[in-house]
């Protein structure tokens, strides 16, 4: 065998020049050394798979059995079921496009080609063929995503059976195939984004991320119009809009919402698109830069540790830190001339530095008004209740998107140590900008509903509930670090993190079915005062000095 003393070290993007025999010898030796570790990894993977299947069977099994029973006796057939089947070609493309966007965003901090720490630290600097190391990881990610997509798609396809999609085995198989294709597409898109991760997180690519983020919204508008107005042509137009819609055509054909030839053509286009995307992903995986692999290996470990500890705020902050590199400050607000405008100026500046949140607040508030209008016009009580609860949650999301400054102060109380207010009063100052943005969004939603003929006397209640939504969002912002999982368990930690919206929205929900008179607005105003007082109390508790805290922020008046 020839010697390898003259081989060059690998560059950042290409494959090193090395002999295949030497690569085989090196990798075979490492396989022998890592045999025990691979067995432990396989046992861990099998345990996770077993736990997932057991949990899914316990939680979904009774509902699937009930769905099968309802399919046999036809108890779910009716106008609502027919409308749900007609909405399949309009709703599924929105879900598939959202899945592709989430996969692309996730690939910026954890791509499908992610070696372990030992491979990153020891093998990448060596002259070993990059494809030998990375392509098995890509195949593993593809198999996992295809299997997960097929399982979720099979469940979704089976749920169409009790609504009237026959036969049941056809809807299940078609759903599994569509889910598998979407899973493969998600992995392929993620691999391409990971290959160009340095360019995709730069300042020049932010506008492309904004355009990609608008894709589900642009698809949701005609989809919602097709569901509300019961126009099948709009739903089919959404389904033919791209690969995210082609995968929905077979399920739409089984549900009777699309012709059979459209289902066959959509399935063929989906398979061709997924195959081509996976071929592009294979070429991209071989040239992922080494610096990207090193950075993602460390960042993924930190995010995974935060997720295991159920520290969702820390995990979101770590995952979002990738998109804040090399960001330029283009928009600057003029300096405030009065002390009363200082906190609103800081909040607006924080929103301008996170521009994806600025339009989100009024948009979610306007969406909540539209959903409440649809709930008031719904025929079935179940649909009215579901749309009403979704409208309340949309109002809360609008307020949460605007509480960026309060969230920063809740994460680090020392940030506001130089402001001339105590932390308790500062929480109330942070409510001004979210209330203004949500109020503007709710007013725009009211105007739109009036112009479209969807007006109802209950709609102004969402505008009256803005203080309650802002209070719930401030409670979330000032909730502080998550408690240890071992103290209260997983369910306790999740409830602790979501206690603000759960309590406030549960108390606000009874005011909307009986919206007549002055009782409901008075109750919402009282609830808003209570929620703001709760946030004020949490802000004061979060600012208490700790034994290891410094002088800054500890001697302030309460």
Q: Which of 291, 322, 353 lies at the terminal end of a domain, its last residue?
A: 322
User: What does the alpha-carbon distance between residue 284 and residue 421 come to, in Å, rounded to a whole number?
Assistant: 53
Same domain assignment for residues 311 and 367: no
Same domain assignment for residues 121 and 255: yes
Looking at every residue in the chain, the average pLDDT score rounds to 81
User: What does the alpha-carbon distance between residue 134 and residue 296 come to, in Å, rounded to a whole number?
Assistant: 14
3 located within any domain: no
Same domain assignment for residues 351 and 466: yes
Residue 551 predicted with pLDDT over 50: no
Is residue 452 a contact partner of residue 377, using CB atoms and an 8 Å limit? no
Same domain assignment for residues 114 and 180: yes
- Tell me the residue range of the domain where 261 lies: 81-322
Task: Provide the whole-model pTM.
Answer: 0.78
Query: Would you state the structure tokens that stand for residue 457, as one six-digit string?
Result: 């006397």
266 located within any domain: yes
Q: Cβ neighbours of residue 497 under 8 Å, at least 6 residues apart?
A: 310, 312, 476, 479, 482
Same domain assignment for residues 92 and 206: yes
8 located within any domain: no
Position 324 scores a pLDDT of 54
Same domain assignment for residues 288 and 419: no
Angle at which helices 404-411 and 519-542 cross, to 10°: 30
549 located within any domain: no
Residue 159 predicted with pLDDT over 80: yes
Question: Which of 415, 368, 366, 418 lies closest to 388 in space, CA to CA?
Answer: 368
CA distances from 199 to 15, 195, 196, 322, 523 (A): 20, 9, 5, 11, 51
Helix (H, G, I), strand (E, B) or coil at 552: coil
Residue 262 predicted with pLDDT over 50: yes
Q: Cβ neighbours of residue 11 under 8 Å, at least 6 residues apart?
A: none
Helix (H, G, I), strand (E, B) or coil at 73: helix
Residue 15 predicted with pLDDT over 60: no
In terms of pLDDT, which residue wins out, 481 or 246? 246
Same domain assignment for residues 61 and 90: no
Q: How many helices (H) and strands (E) does the chain have?
A: 26, 0
Residue 391 predicted with pLDDT over 80: yes
User: What does the alpha-carbon distance between residue 394 and residue 402 come to, in Å, rounded to a whole number?
Assistant: 13
Report the alpha-carbon angle 215-217-223, nearest 5: 105
User: What does the alpha-carbon distance between residue 82 and residue 222 come to, in Å, rounded to a whole number?
Assistant: 19
Query: Would you state the structure tokens that stand for residue 164, as one six-digit string?
Result: 């009237």
Same domain assignment for residues 281 and 356: no
Residue 154 predicted with pLDDT over 90: yes
Is residue 333 a contact partner of residue 352, using CB atoms and an 8 Å limit? yes
345 located within any domain: yes
In terms of pLDDT, which residue wins out, 162 or 357? 162
User: What does the alpha-carbon distance between residue 95 and residue 238 come to, in Å, rounded to a whole number?
Assistant: 12
Question: Which of 263, 255, 281 lies closest to 168 in space, CA to CA?
Answer: 255
User: What does the alpha-carbon distance between residue 478 and residue 401 come to, in Å, rounded to a whole number?
Assistant: 14
Q: How many CB atoms lie within 10 A of CB 330?
A: 8
Of the pLDDT bands very low, low, confident and very high (cuts 50, 70, 90), residue 1 is very low
Of the pLDDT bands very low, low, confident and very high (cuts 50, 70, 90), residue 228 is low
Query: Would you state the structure tokens that stand for residue 150, as one six-digit string?
Result: 């097929």
User: What does the alpha-carbon distance between residue 419 and residue 30 come to, in Å, rounded to a whole number?
Assistant: 58
Same domain assignment for residues 381 and 287: no
Length reported for the chain: 558
Position 527 scores a pLDDT of 93
Residue 313 predicted with pLDDT over 70: yes
Is the bond preceding residue 167 a cis peptide, omega within 30 degrees? yes
Query: Would you state the structure tokens that stand for residue 364, as one six-digit string?
Result: 């979610």
185 located within any domain: yes
Helix (H, G, I), strand (E, B) or coil at 480: coil
Q: How many CB atoms lie within 10 A of CB 526?
A: 13
Same domain assignment for residues 227 and 198: yes
What percent of the chain clears pLDDT 90, i.e. is strictly above it?
Answer: 26
Is residue 111 a contact partner of residue 288, using CB atoms and an 8 Å limit? yes
Q: Which of 75, 106, 137 lies at the terminal end of a domain, its last residue?
A: 75
CA distances from 64 to 18, 87, 172, 540 (A): 54, 21, 12, 47
Is residue 434 a contact partner of residue 402, using CB atoms and an 8 Å limit? yes
Average pLDDT of span 452-474: 88
Position 553 scores a pLDDT of 40
Position 460 scores a pLDDT of 87
272 located within any domain: yes
User: Read out DSSP for 336-358?
Assistant: PSSGGGHHHHHHHHHHHHSTTTT
CA distances from 417 to 411, 421, 537 (A): 13, 9, 17
The separation between CA 234 and the C-alpha centre of its own chain, rounded to angstroms, equals 26
Average pLDDT of span 109-124: 85
User: What does the alpha-carbon distance between residue 30 and residue 128 come to, in Å, rounded to a whole number?
Assistant: 12
Position 96 scores a pLDDT of 94
Position 330 scores a pLDDT of 56
Same domain assignment for residues 310 and 393: no
361 located within any domain: yes
User: What does the alpha-carbon distance between residue 167 and residue 160 come to, in Å, rounded to a whole number?
Assistant: 10
- pLDDT tens-place string over residues 33-76: 788 888 888 898 899 889 888 988 888 888 888 888 888 888 78
Residue 557 predicted with pLDDT over 50: no
Mark out the alpha helices in 74-167 (DSSP H runs): 79-86, 88-106, 117-118, 130-159
Is residue 476 a contact partner of residue 535, using CB atoms and an 8 Å limit? no
Same domain assignment for residues 164 and 308: yes
Q: How many domains does the chain have?
A: 3
Residue 549 predicted with pLDDT over 90: no
């Amino acid at each position: 065998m020839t010697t390898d003393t003259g081989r060059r070290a690998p560059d950042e993007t290409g494959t090193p020049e090395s002999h295949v025999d030497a690569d085989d010898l090196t990798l075979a030796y490492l396989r022998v050394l890592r045999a025990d570790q691979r067995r432990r990894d396989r046992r861990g993977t099998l345990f996770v798979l077993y736990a997932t299947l057991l949990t899914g069977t316990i939680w979904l099994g009774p509902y699937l059995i009930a769905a099968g029973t309802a399919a046999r006796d036809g108890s779910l057939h009716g106008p609502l079921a027919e409308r749900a089947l007609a909405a399949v070609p309009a709703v599924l493309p929105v879900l598939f496009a959202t899945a592709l966007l989430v996969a692309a965003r996730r690939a910026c901090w954890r791509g499908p080609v992610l070696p372990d720490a030992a491979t990153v630290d020891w093998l990448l600097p060596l002259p070993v063929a990059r494809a030998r190391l990375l392509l098995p990881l890509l195949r593993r990610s593809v198999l996992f995503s295809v299997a997960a997509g097929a399982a979720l798609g099979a469940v979704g396809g089976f749920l169409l059976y009790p609504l009237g999609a026959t036969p049941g085995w056809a809807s299940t198989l078609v759903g599994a195939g569509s889910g598998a294709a979407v899973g493969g597409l998600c992995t392929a898109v993620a691999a391409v984004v990971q290959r160009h991760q340095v360019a995709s997180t730069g300042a020049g690519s932010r506008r492309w991320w904004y355009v990609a983020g608008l894709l589900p919204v642009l698809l949701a508008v005609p989809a919602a119009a097709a569901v509300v107005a019961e126009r099948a042509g709009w739903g089919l137009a959404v389904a033919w809009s791209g690969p995210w819609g082609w995968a929905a055509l077979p399920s739409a054909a089984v549900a009777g919402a699309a012709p059979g030839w459209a289902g066959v053509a959509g399935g063929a286009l989906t398979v061709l698109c997924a195959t081509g995307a996976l071929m592009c992903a294979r070429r991209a995986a071989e040239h992922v830069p080494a610096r990207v692999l090193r950075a993602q290996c460390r960042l993924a470990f930190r995010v995974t540790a935060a997720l295991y500890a159920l520290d969702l705020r820390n995990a979101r902050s770590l995952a979002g830190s990738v998109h804040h590199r090399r960001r330029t400050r283009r928009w600057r607000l003029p300096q405030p001339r009065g002390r009363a405008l200082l906190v609103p100026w800081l909040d607006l500046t924080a929103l301008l530095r996170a521009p994806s949140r600025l339009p989100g607040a009024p948009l979610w508030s306007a969406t909540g008004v539209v959903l409440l209008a649809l709930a008031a016009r719904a025929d079935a009580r179940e649909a009215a209740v579901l749309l009403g609860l979704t409208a309340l949650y949309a109002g809360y999301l609008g307020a949460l998107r605007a509480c960026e400054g309060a969230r920063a102060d809740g994460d680090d109380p020392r940030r506001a140590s130089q402001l001339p207010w105590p932390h308790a009063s500062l929480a109330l100052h942070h409510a001004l900008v979210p209330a203004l943005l949500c109020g503007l969004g709710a007013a725009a939603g009211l105007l739109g509903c009036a112009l479209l003929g969807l007006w109802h006397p209950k709609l102004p209640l969402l505008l009256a509930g803005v203080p309650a939504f802002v209070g719930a969002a401030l409670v979330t912002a000032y909730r502080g670090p998550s408690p240890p999982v071992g103290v209260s368990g997983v369910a306790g930690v999740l409830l602790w993190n979501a206690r603000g919206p759960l309590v406030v929205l549960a108390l606000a929900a009874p005011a909307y079915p009986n919206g007549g008179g002055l009782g409901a607005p008075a109750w919402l105003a009282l609830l808003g005062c209570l929620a703001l007082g709760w946030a004020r109390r949490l802000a004061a508790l979060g600012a208490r000095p700790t034994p290891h805290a410094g002088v800054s922020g500890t001697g302030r008046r309460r």
